[in-house]
Each structure stands twice: as structure tokens, then as C-alpha cells.
Amino acid sequence: HATEPFYGTHQAGIVTYQQNSLVFAAFDVKDAVTTAQLQALLARWAAAASLLAVGKPVGPVTTRSGAPPADTGEAFDLGAHRLTVTVGFGTTLFDDRFGLSDKMPAALRPLGQLAVDTSIDPTISGGDLCVQACSEDPQVAFHAIRNFARIGRNVVTLRWLQEGFGRASATTNSQTTPRNLMGFKDGTANIKAEDPKVADAQVWVGDETDQAWMKGGSYLVTRKIRMHIEAWDSDDITDQQQIFGRYKDSGAPLTGEAEFDTLDFAKKAGDGATVINRFSHIRLAHPDNNGGAQILRRGYNYTDGIDTRTGTLAAGLFFIAFQKNAHEQFARIQNSLAQDRLNEYITPISSSLFAIPPGLSKIGDWYGKTMF
Ligand code: HEM
């Protein structure tokens, strides 16, 4: 089974080939936990992640009798299936509890309420710590989060958890572009692993940071975006394609023929209007409309079953984006999307921002070692 490298300049799970399954958890640190206890947890998580990344259990699956096994066992003999575990820190970790108030990066200040944020649920947003587990096998991703929660049970509590059942983006040129739950190819114009210059310019924190410990890291935005699936499914195909600015079957721009054809926002139709509508998703989200800002999208399709109040599908996109500064990139693009025609069919219901520290260098290194 394929494995993804664990040690490196950057954490895995960002420009890594996007795996098909996600389990994402946010944790809060319990009351009265000391800085030393928090550090010990981050070191234990690092050790566990290094084992999981090569398909090993976090400890013996069978152990001396009379004690519970160290690893919960459900991924035993499954292999890693490209598992990546990515750990991040929320704004609330930098309050006075752990002596970190002068280590808080300016770029981690809360995003606040954006133009479309009328329905954000704080109980499924934010958190002191986050862990993103991605794998080709959903059970392997779940096992990672479950064992992180178990290792941390005296130090942290789970705040929220989100499962994603299928990737809704592509992060390498080697993978095909998948489709989101609106049936459109998603991830065509994404930042790809084969463009390290773009990743350096847009994804990885560099010398511009006010906190040296963040160099080589990134900022993660998650947004749970509920789709109004039944309304979407009754919209006609011409309108659906106008909303995105792309053809549904091929993913090609309305001004082209093949998926990766360049966009032509100036091209006019017979009636004098531009072929790609000015309020379409791809025009508003495009770097040309956002001062060159780009983001690395790595979202997943999700479903929570049905909304029992209305009997409708509770499903959508668990949007994930990485960038070197979410205020200048994600928030700028999101504010442009305030005019997006797609907004009629979607509602963001969670919003989170986390600082993703750089990768771990070798055995013994741990998340936040250079921060404390
Ligand atoms: C492009 C779907 C939310 C940023 C696209 C495309 C689709 C799509 C189908 C065209 C294919 C591609 O290039 O990937 C959706 C859906 C969303 C959603 C269904 C919500 C449920 C967002 C949000 C942002 C965003 C919240 C950022 C704030 C972008 C960007 C592009 C894009 C930057 C590429 C534009 C370009 O340069 O051509 N999206 N998107 N999207 N989307 Fe979204």
C-alpha cells in the first residue's frame, strides 16, 4: 500500500495527492491542563502520526491482559492507504493559558463575520487544535482521529468532527478532477503539487511572517457549506452552467472546449453580454478579480443524512483551503463571492481558521516544538 512521507519541510496533507476520504476533528484543551501536559500531548501525537503514516498501529494491538490495548485495532492490517495527518493551532490556543500570547501570528486573528456569514454555528467552528486525517480508506482516516482522541483523553475534548466521503478537488496533475455534489468538476484551476513556485508564493508561509516558528507552515480555512440540493436539482442546465461559467459534462470554460482551456472573460455573445457571466463563480473567484490571490483547495463532499425539519438532504461541500495568509487570500476571494450567483444554492454553516506549523524534521521533533 502506498504511503506518504511523514518528515519534511512542510506537513503532509496539503500539496499531497488528495486522498479520497477525510475525517477532520477540532479539539479544545481541558481546564487546568498545564503547558507541560499540552506539550507532552503534541509530542505523543507526533509519535503516533509517524507510526500511522507507515501503516503501523500506535502501540500494541494486543497487550498484557487486564489493560485495554494501546491501539484500538480497527485499522490493523489495512495499511496506510496514503494516510496523512495534519495538525494545526486555533486562535484560542494563544490566550494566556499556555504562555503563548506573544507567539500568536497576526495572520491568525479571527476572520470575523464575512458577507455571506448569516448562519455560522459556533459549536462546529473553531477550536484550540485541529487534526485533518486523509486516506484512500475511510476506516484508516477514522482510526487516526479516534486514536488521537484516545491518546489525548486527559488533555483535550473533541469539539467537532467532520467526515468527508469523497474528494472534491485535485492537488496533482496526475489525478483526474473529481465532481462535487452539484455534479460539476471541482479542482480544475487549483494550485497543483507540480507548481512548487506557485505553492511557495501562495501556500507556504515565508519571511513575511511576524512569527519565525510559522515559516514553512500554512493557514487552513475550513467552511462547511450546505448545498440546497433539491433547489439545485430543479435548476435548468443552462443556468447551472452560467452560475459556474463552465460546462457540466467536460468542465470546460464556456469560452472553450476542453477542461483546461484558458478562460476568456472578455469574449462576448451575440447579445453583447460576456459569455462567462460577470457574476459567475469562476469569474468572481479568479485571481484576476482578486489582486492575484490564489488558494489551494482540498475540500470534500459530505452528508449528515437528512434535515429532519424539512426531509431534505443535509449535504454539501466541506471546503478546505490552504494559503500563506487567509485574510489576504481566502477572505478576499470570499468577499468577492458575496455577489456569486451560486449563493442562492449554498449556505456556509461553519467557519474555522487554523495555523498549520511546518513539518517535523525527524524522530523526536513534535508539533509546536519551536513555538513554545
Ligand atoms: C472554482 C465549485 C465554494 C474558490 C470552482 C469550480 C467549481 C467550484 C465547480 C470550477 C472548477 C475549478 O476550477 O475547480 C464550488 C462549490 C462551492 C465553492 C460547489 C460551494 C459549495 C468556493 C469558495 C471559494 C471558492 C467558498 C473561496 C472563497 C474557488 C476558486 C476557483 C473555484 C478560487 C478557481 C477559479 C479560477 O481561477 O478559475 N469552484 N466552489 N469556491 N472556486 Fe469554488
Residue pLDDT tens, the chain, 372 long: 699 999 999 999 999 999 999 999 999 999 999 999 999 999 999 999 999 999 999 988 776 788 888 999 999 999 999 999 999 999 999 999 999 999 999 999 999 999 999 999 999 999 999 999 999 999 999 999 999 999 999 999 999 999 999 999 999 999 999 999 999 999 999 999 999 999 999 999 999 999 999 999 999 999 999 999 999 999 999 999 999 999 999 999 999 999 999 999 999 999 999 999 999 999 999 999 999 999 999 999 999 999 999 999 999 999 999 999 999 999 999 999 999 999 999 999 999 999 999 999 999 999 999 999
Q: How far is the CA of 135 from the centre of ligand 1 (A)?
A: 23
The response to whether residue 340 sits with its C-beta less than 6 Å from ligand 1 reads no
Closest CA to 84 of 19, 162, 1: 19
Can you give the pLDDT at residue 129?
Answer: 98
Cα dihedral across residues 267, 272, 275, 279: positive or negative: positive
The response to whether residue 192 sits with its C-beta less than 6 Å from ligand 1 reads no
Can you give the pLDDT at residue 68?
Answer: 87
For the question of whether the overall pTM of this predicted structure is more than 0.95, the answer is: yes
Q: How far is the CA of 312 from the centre of ligand 1 (A)?
A: 24
Q: Which atom of ligand 1 is nearest to the CA of 184?
A: 9
Can you give the pLDDT at residue 235?
Answer: 98
Residue nearest to atom 29 of ligand 1 (CA): 285
Q: What DSSP assignment string belongs to 266-284?
A: T-B-TTSSBSS-TTSHHHH
The response to whether residue 186 sits with its C-beta less than 6 Å from ligand 1 reads yes
Closest CA to 52 of 29, 66, 72: 72
Coil/strand/helix, residue 355:
strand
C-alpha atoms less than 13 angstroms from C-alpha of 317 in its C-beta half-sphere: 28
Residue nearest to atom 34 of ligand 1 (CA): 189
| Residue 237, all three cell numbers | 442546465
Q: How far is the CA of 281 from the centre of ligand 1 (A)?
A: 6
Distance between CA atoms of 196 and 178, rounded to whole angstroms?
22
Residue nearest to atom 37 of ligand 1 (CA): 286
Can you give the pLDDT at residue 255?
Answer: 98
**Length of the chain in residues, anyone?**
372
Can you give the pLDDT at residue 67?
Answer: 84
Q: What DSSP assignment string belongs to 279-330?
A: TSHHHHHSGGGTTT---EE--EEEEEEEETTTTEEEEEEEEEEEES-TTTTH
Is there a contact between 123 and 7 (Cβ–Cβ < 8 Å)? no
> Hey, which of 319, 325, 327 would you mutate to test ligand 1's pocket, going by the most ligand atoms within 8 Å of its Cβ?
319
Per the listing, cell 515559516 goes with: 215
Distance between CA atoms of 279 and 269, rounded to whole angstroms?
16
